[in-house]
Amino acid sequence: MITLRSIVPKVVLLGKSAAAALFLTGIAADTFAQPSVALYPPLPPKDVFQQLEHFPDPLTRPEPVPVGAVAVVDLTRIVLKRPGQADWTRNYVTLAAVQYKNIGGVPMGAYLLTFCPADFRRREAVTYRRRIAEVLGKIDASLIPVSDRPRQRQILQASDEMFARIETGVDVPRDEIEAFARRMGPLVRANFDAMVIELQPSLDAATAEMRGVLKAGEWNQLRIVIGSHDGVLYAAQERYAYFKRLLGPGQEDRVSFVAPGGSASVFRQSPASRAFFGTVNVGREP
């Protein structure tokens, strides 16, 4: 069983090398991240509320690609893979969804940062606090509905208080950071729930378009692989349920998760994810 205590020594070692960035991101940082070492989930840069020039790319693909049609779905796009044919790809992410995700993920950045060496966490806390201040000034220009904007401010302001504590270089006690996660958990989950709702129409449209390009009989054989990493596992479970409903009763085996690194397997949740989201049961996870 993985515990916070068991991973701390590993995290400290990772923090002394370039591998720290990989631990904190879980995957390659998306194009919205600009800090010195990108933490997952990143805060948006200055212009993310105005335009979306690049789509984040957390897609991981199963290896090897199974025989027959496979649709790999993450929180931004669908990739349809068929033997002997070029991949069919459809992005369905929206800018509002990215804003919900990035802001909702900031407390996780604070949580993970507390496991890192003092110099590293002080430096990154300064970066985060500067960007939080920038984003707070842009909430009213965002695509997030007015009714949800107070929650964005609450998330960012509470995170800023934690980053201010981290910036001093003190070791934040484990019970304090765990209490922070419990307090922020409902707000973070609300943001990811809002992201899922925001993406529903575009996911419906992308799925319908994919079905339109399938050949006769392919839909009844299609396998769905939900690509995700730990930070968005909570939201990805909705994708899992969505496609199980579409495929119908008795077809559950045609939907599975793919773990980071590319192998379709049991998807295990990290302690950080559990701290904010609680236990997320997906696929065959025990």
The pLDDT tens digits of the residues spanning 69-97 come to 999 998 889 999 998 889 999 999 999 99
Question: How are beta strands 255-258 and 70-73 bridged, if at all?
Answer: unpaired
| Ordered alpha helix ranges (H), 141-216 | 149-167, 174-213
Residue 70 has a pLDDT of: 93
Q: How confident is the model at residue 268 (pLDDT cuts 50, 70, 90)?
A: low
Number of Cβ within a 10 Å radius of residue 82: 18
pLDDT tens, residue by residue, 4-54: 333 333 333 333 333 333 223 322 233 233 333 333 344 444 444 443 333
pTM across the whole model: 0.73
Can you say whether residue 205 is alpha, beta or left, with left for phi > 0 and alpha for psi between -120 and 50 degrees? alpha
The residues spanned by each domain of the chain are 4-45+57-277
Q: Which residue has the higher pLDDT, 25 or 185?
A: 185
Residue 231 has a pLDDT of: 55
